Amino acid sequence: MCGIIGITSNKPVSSSILNSLKKLEYRGYDSAGIATINDGLINEVKCQGRVDVLEKNISQINLLGNVGIGHVRWATHGIPSTINAHPHSTERISVVHNGIIENSVDLKKLLINKGHKFKSQTDTEVIVHLLVEYLKNNKLNESIIKTLNDLDGSFALGIIFKDMPELIIGARRGSPLAVGYGPNENYLGSDSYALKSMTNKITYLNDGEFCIIKKKDIDFFDSKGKKVNKKILHLSSSDQNYEKGEYKHFMAKEIDEQPITIKNCINEYIDKINNEINLHNFPWKKDEIKSIKLIGCGTAFHSCLVGKYWFEQLTNLDVQVDIASEFRYRKNKFNEDCLYIFISQSGETADTYAALNLCNKNNMKTCSIVNVVESSIARDSKFVLPIHCGPEIGVASTKAFLGQMLVIYLLCVKISFFKGDINKHKYIEKIKNLKLLSDLVNKTISAENKIQLICNTFADAKGSMFLGRGYSYPIALEGALKLKELAYIHAEGYPAGEMKHGPLALIEDGMPVVVIAPKDEHYKKTISNMQEVIARGAKVLLITNKEDNQVVSENIWQKIEIENIENDLYPFLVTIPLQKLAYYTALKKGYDIDKPRNLAKSVTVE
């Protein structure tokens, strides 16, 4: 949520900042801006909308300067507009910010009373004026510390000063921030992705830290201003994964990548010769875990829900699932026998991170399942299980969802075996079936179905429903979420058995309803629920597997058949047509698939 970049160099920086902002756009695309220092002046260029608009504006002027900061915004305080775009500058100081300053209204009042004039409606602008105020009587470091101490809320900041034209200040509390090391230049970025095209040498700031970045050296300080030494990490992954290649959208590419990312993940965790799931260095003994709590947001929450069904099915553990933004503010009864599992693709989601920190503070066993292994959630968890999906750029989560489910399933099967809830024979059988998964996902993706035709009906619909039982219920929620976020169609996911308790009243003639009914133990019941909606005029799209001849059902509008697989693993296959349904419906409506309105990829504000 909001992307930050800063570069201090011995050559002009605006084109490198623009390039990085293009990469950061997945974090926010309401507005964009750059400020550089040149000839003793701060020069600021900002616009409402995307980075390509900013690029056009900059191409008409010659934005010089060897030190600069840039920003892409996901609006929190103040509408998306040029005036509210970052950087926010006075004549002497310019600031970019990711996060929310919760006491900005009070601070603004105080500053206005001291004669400061504000231009924007943002919470960020108070930071600029606080610094101006403190710099009147304090040196740089003291002014930074005093300013940061005045702020409530979360922030990652990049700051430049007209009177100190060689340096950039970076500071973080709550929101992630990294610095990068280059040849005769150094960088600041809200994530390593922004910096990867320039360097693979990265250091992450910890909460409360700030740094002074000059082109040849970087100094780090804790919240009290004491110098700290930081490790430099060397990132390995190549830049290629960040390109769309011949695909029109990242989402289409990421859907197609699922067989290979599943294969990679299975290769990482399964010892194929010994038929063994390896959770290298899993730190807890079998008797130390008596219950499981899975916590996440959005799509990650849906993978937690699928996990609950698996853990309940395969282990004797008590399993609970929670939405991170609820968990963090509830009066939780912490339980030292519980394994708290945090699921997050980005590893930066503010609510999930806060829930993790809460558990860490209470000395709980914390484990995270993430895609970005350098992320805050991964770094602060006691044990990390990466999903090995490679970068996911499309705002709608696709391959990461399958990756999260896969790692939860591997963990569940391993725990179930290691606690003696399943025997060796069953354990090996489950591993064998997992080895088939990548090929079956591939077949499901390549299967010829009428999805593009089916999308026409969804594109014209006012609303739709997604129904399922058992594992297919969280998948129904996920299918509905995808259609909402990409095609802007009201969609509700429901347990199929709940329809008659209220939502059936919504069904009207011609309403498209997706029924997810693989041939598992819920099949017949779901098919009965399907008949109830058909009888009330719904146009049903049934997603089932090839051998669905157990129950003959007439009046089904459309049917998509997936491959046959062990019951536990149907969630992986039934998800694919739902991803495609959302993709093609959004395509038909002409929407921006990789950057849906009002959203951003990495949700670093609560």
Active site residues: 2, 601
Choose which of 123, 485, 563, 606 interacts with ligand M6R (CB under 6 A).
485
* Residue 81 within binding range of ligand M6R, rule CB under 6 A: no
Instruction: Name the minimum Å distance from CB 395 to ligand M6R.
Output: 5
Q: Which of 119, 117, 126, 135 is nearest to 97 (CA)?
A: 126
Choose which of 266, 476, 499, 603 interacts with ligand M6R (CB under 6 A).
603
* Residue 298 within binding range of ligand M6R, rule CB under 6 A: yes
Half-sphere exposure of 296 (CA within 13 A, CB side): 28
CA–CA separation, 505 and 65 (whole Å) = 63
- Within 8 A by CB and 6+ apart from 515, the residues are 467, 468, 496, 526, 527, 529, 530, 533, 540, 541, 542, 543
Which residues in 138-177 are b (16+ Cβ under 10 Å) and which e?
Answer: eebeebbbbbbebbebbbbbbbbbeebbbbbbbbbbbbbb
CA–CA separation, 63 and 49 (whole Å) = 19
Instruction: Name the minimum Å distance from CB 477 to ligand M6R.
Output: 11
Instruction: Name the minimum Å distance from CB 370 to ligand M6R.
Output: 8
Instruction: Name the minimum Å distance from CB 250 to ligand M6R.
Output: 12
In the complex with ligand M6R, which residue's Cβ is closer, 298 or 474?
298
In the complex with ligand M6R, which residue's Cβ is closer, 428 or 445?
445
* Residue 604 within binding range of ligand M6R, rule CB under 6 A: no
In the complex with ligand M6R, which residue's Cβ is closer, 409 or 523?
409
Q: Which residue is nearest to ligand M6R (CB)?
A: 298
Choose which of 200, 315, 345, 545 interacts with ligand M6R (CB under 6 A).
345
In the complex with ligand M6R, which residue's Cβ is closer, 130 or 300?
300
List, in sequence order, every beta strand (DSSP E) within 201-290: 201-204, 210-213, 218-221, 227-228, 233-234, 270-271, 276-277
Instruction: Name the minimum Å distance from CB 241 to ligand M6R.
Output: 17
Q: Which of 180, 135, 175 is nearest to 157 (CA)?
A: 175
* Residue 299 within binding range of ligand M6R, rule CB under 6 A: yes
Residue 483, judged by CB atoms within 10 A of its CB (0-12, 13-18, 19+), counts as buried
Going by DSSP bridges, is the β-strand pair 539-545/164-173 parallel, antiparallel, or unpaired? Answer: unpaired
CA–CA separation, 338 and 362 (whole Å) = 12
Site string for ligand M6R, 508-547 (x = CB under 6 A): ----------------------------------------
CA 261 and chain centroid, separation: 17
Look up tokens 């968890």; give the residue. 381
Site string for ligand M6R, 110-149 (x = CB under 6 A): ----------------------------------------
In the complex with ligand M6R, which residue's Cβ is closer, 369 or 516?
369
Name residues contacting ligand M6R, limited to 369-398 (CB under 6 A).
395-397
Report DSSP state, residue 336.
T
In the complex with ligand M6R, which residue's Cβ is closer, 300 or 440?
300
Instruction: Name the minimum Å distance from CB 404 to ligand M6R.
Output: 8
In the complex with ligand M6R, which residue's Cβ is closer, 381 or 545?
381
Q: DSSP for 102-131, please give it.
A: TTHHHHHHHHHHTT----SS-STHHHHHHH
Taking CB under 6 A as the binding criterion, the range among 226-234, 235-243, 297-305, 528-536 that sits at the site for ligand M6R is 297-305
CA–CA separation, 66 and 168 (whole Å) = 11
Instruction: Name the minimum Å distance from CB 439 to ligand M6R.
Output: 25
Query: How many other C-beta atoms are found inside a 10 Å radius of the C-beta of residue 502?
Result: 9
φ and ψ of 526, to 5 deg: -65, -40
* Residue 300 within binding range of ligand M6R, rule CB under 6 A: yes
Instruction: Name the minimum Å distance from CB 78 to ligand M6R.
Output: 22
In the complex with ligand M6R, which residue's Cβ is closer, 25 or 485?
485
Report DSSP state, residue 431.
H
Choose which of 101, 262, 294, 297 interacts with ligand M6R (CB under 6 A).
297
Choose which of 192, 315, 325, 352 interacts with ligand M6R (CB under 6 A).
352
Instruction: Name the minimum Å distance from CB 325 to ligand M6R.
Output: 10
Taking CB under 6 A as the binding criterion, the range among 131-139, 281-289, 342-350, 563-571 that sits at the site for ligand M6R is 342-350
Reduced to 3 states (helix: H, G, I; strand: E, B; else coil), residue 202 is strand
Element (H, E) at 163: none
In the complex with ligand M6R, which residue's Cβ is closer, 21 or 300?
300
Q: DSSP for 10-58, please give it.
A: SS--HHHHHHHHHHHGGG--SEEEEEEEETTEEEEEEEES-HHHHHHHH
Tokens linked to 112:
């206005």
In the complex with ligand M6R, which residue's Cβ is closer, 16 or 397?
397
Query: How many other C-beta atoms are found inside a 10 Å radius of the C-beta of residue 268?
Result: 15
Size of the site for ligand M6R (CB under 6 A): 15
* Residue 89 within binding range of ligand M6R, rule CB under 6 A: no
Site string for ligand M6R, 430-469 (x = CB under 6 A): ----------------------------------------
- Within 8 A by CB and 6+ apart from 527, the residues are 515, 517, 551, 553
CA–CA separation, 384 and 468 (whole Å) = 31
Instruction: Name the minimum Å distance from CB 240 to ligand M6R.
Output: 22
Taking CB under 6 A as the binding criterion, the range among 329-337, 345-353, 450-458, 565-573 that sits at the site for ligand M6R is 345-353
Do the beta carbons of residue 174 and residue 207 sit within 8 Å?
yes
Q: For 207-349, where are the alpha helices, taking DSSP H only? A: 250-256, 258-269, 298-314, 324-327
Q: Which of 171, 191, 169, 167 is nearest to 180 (CA)?
A: 191
Instruction: Name the minimum Å distance from CB 368 to ligand M6R.
Output: 10
* Residue 349 within binding range of ligand M6R, rule CB under 6 A: yes
In the complex with ligand M6R, which residue's Cβ is closer, 144 or 300?
300
Taking CB under 6 A as the binding criterion, the range among 45-53, 291-299, 315-323, 468-476 that sits at the site for ligand M6R is 291-299
φ and ψ of 589, to 5 deg: -80, -5
Q: Which residues bind ligand M6R (CB under 6 A)?
A: 297-300, 344-346, 349, 352, 395-397, 481, 485, 603
